């Protein structure tokens, strides 16, 4: 193990655009379904639906949070609808699977999505068997990252010592609460980030491009174990 990570006992990973390449474009499919959902909900055209969608995202952290607060949308119905997408854009990742298999300690997924969708994605990547627990938006009381509430619930629920934990995220802003709690933070700079300047604010410890490559680097040659 690379010495700077030798103290880590709990490994926490974001899901979307983190455990699979942002270039897969799953979010584009989800984005389309969110726009269609808002069109039906508010009886507006696509242009207005997109404006509403982005306004909620920027003001509330996620489109869902805004729709719940301002339009009393049922989160289960919304998440079922927008996550009903094909997963043929992603494929199994043997390198990532091998790295996760070798990591000492517990592995978690911490996502703003819901558990059924997350499990589908993890299975498509071929890494679902390597994760101990999944902390989704419902486990965070529907308060999405970067709201600190979900982080605190995750730590308390599983008895995680933040000083012995790492969070791996493709959105630098979501690392800020983790750093404040004492976690080691890893930003996946893969082109998906909105507001990359936030990585310069002092709450990003490491910058990587690909999780599978990073795990291979910090774990070293398998023959050295």
The predicted-structure confidence for 151-208, as pLDDT tens digits, reads as follows 999 999 999 999 999 999 998 889 999 999 999 999 998 776 654 555 556 789 999 9
Between these two residues, 192 and 94, which has the higher pLDDT value? 94
What is the mean predicted confidence (pLDDT) over 18-40? 91
Whole-model pTM?
0.89
* pLDDT surpasses 90 at 18: yes
6-37 in b/e form (b: 16+ CB < 10 A) is eebebbbbbbbbbbbbbebebeebbbeebbeb
Between these two residues, 191 and 82, which has the higher pLDDT value? 82
Reduced 3-state DSSP string for 49-82: HHHHHHHHHHHHCCHHHHHHHHHCCCHHHHHHHH
Going by the DSSP 8-state scheme, the letter that residue 206 receives in this structure is E
pLDDT of residue 132: 96
Q: List the domains of the chain with CATH numbers.
A: 3-22+91-224 (3.40.50.1000), 26-82 (1.10.150)
H or E element in which residue 176 lies = helix 176-181
* pLDDT surpasses 50 at 225: no
Range 30-34, long-range pairs (CB < 8 A, 24+ positions): 30/82, 30/83, 30/85, 33/81, 33/82, 33/83, 33/84, 33/85, 34/63, 34/82
Burial of 64 (0-12, 13-18, 19+ CB in 10 A): buried
Range with the lowest mean pLDDT among 17-26, 67-76, 102-111, 197-206? 197-206
H or E element in which residue 134 lies = strand 133-135
Going by the DSSP 8-state scheme, the letter that residue 185 receives in this structure is E
Report how far residue 101's alpha carbon sits from residue 175's, in angstroms, rounded to the nearest whole number: 24
pLDDT of residue 194: 55
184-188 sheet: strands from edge to edge:
133-135, 106-110, 10-13, 165-169, 184-188, 206-208
């Amino acid at each position: 193990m690379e010495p700077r990570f030798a103290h880590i006992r709990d490994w926490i990973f974001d899901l979307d655009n983190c455990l699979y390449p942002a270039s897969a474009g799953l979010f584009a499919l989800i984005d389309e379904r969110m726009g269609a959902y808002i069109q039906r909900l508010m009886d507006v055209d696509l242009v207005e639906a997109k404006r509403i969608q982005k306004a909620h995202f920027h003001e509330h952290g996620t489109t869902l949070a805004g729709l719940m607060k301002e339009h009393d949308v049922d989160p289960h119905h919304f998440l079922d609808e927008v996550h009903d997408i094909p997963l043929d854009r992603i494929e199994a990742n043997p390198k990532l699977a091998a790295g996760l298999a070798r990591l000492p300690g517990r592995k978690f997924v911490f996502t703003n999505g819901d558990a059924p969708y997350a499990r589908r994605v993890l299975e498509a990547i071929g890494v679902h068997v390597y994760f101990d627990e999944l902390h989704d938006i419902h486990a965070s009381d529907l308060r999405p990252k970067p709201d600190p509430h979900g982080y605190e619930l995750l730590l308390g629920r599983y008895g995680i010592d933040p000083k012995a934990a790492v969070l791996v995220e493709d959105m630098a802003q979501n690392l800020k609460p983790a750093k404040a709690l004492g976690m080691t933070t890893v930003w996946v700079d893969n082109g998906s980030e909105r507001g990359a300047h936030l990585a310069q604010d002092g709450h990003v410890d490491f910058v990587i491009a690909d999780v599978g490559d990073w795990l291979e680097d910090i774990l070293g040659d398998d023959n050295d174990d």
